């Protein structure tokens, strides 16, 4: 009987130590989850901030200001536009050259007429 009592006492002590270990591990994992969730929230807010910044950087007004100020670009005007003709000689600056569209292939013309 004494051996049984000692064996049961050892089993209870081992069980208690295991329970303490499991509780400690559970608390540690819960703290780790909370830390990871806080970090995820921080990353989400940083992502939102960066998306808003990107939207602000790509507004047409800002792009136009950068092209004028930093890149020294200007809008094209007819006075600075050069037109090229088929012969190779430059055309007059005020007269744009219109190129006639190429003739449609015979099969395309036939199918368009068949659809009428």
pLDDT of res. 94: 54
Cα dist from 108 to 27, 66, 95, 101, 113, whole Å: 76, 47, 33, 14, 9
CA 112 to chain centre: 44
Task: Tell me what pLDDT residue 48 has.
Answer: 97
3-class secondary structure, 84: strand
Q: Full-prediction pTM beyond 0.75?
A: no
Q: Is the pLDDT of residue 103 over 60?
A: no
Is 76's pLDDT higher than 60? yes
Which residues lie closer than 8 Å to 91 by C-beta, 6 or more apart?
Answer: 83, 84, 85, 97
Mean pLDDT (whole number) for 80-99: 66
Structural domain spans, the chain: 1-75
Mean pLDDT over each residue of the chain, to the nearest integer? 82
Element of type H or E holding 26? helix 2-57
Q: Is the pLDDT of residue 50 over 70?
A: yes
| Averaged pLDDT for residues 32-55 | 97
What's the average model confidence in pLDDT over 33-43?
98
């Amino acid at each position: 009987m004494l051996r049984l009592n000692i064996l049961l006492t050892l089993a209870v002590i081992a069980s208690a130590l295991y329970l303490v270990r499991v509780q400690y591990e559970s608390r540690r994992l819960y703290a780790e989850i909370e830390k990871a969730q806080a970090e995820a929230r921080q990353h989400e807010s940083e992502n939102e901030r960066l998306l808003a910044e990107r939207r602000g950087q790509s507004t047409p007004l800002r792009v136009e200001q950068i092209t004028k100020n930093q890149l020294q670009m200007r809008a094209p005007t007819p006075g600075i536009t050069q037109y090229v003709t088929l012969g190779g000689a430059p055309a007059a600056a005020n007269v744009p050259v219109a190129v006639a569209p190429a003739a449609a292939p015979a099969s395309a013309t036939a199918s368009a007429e068949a659809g009428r």
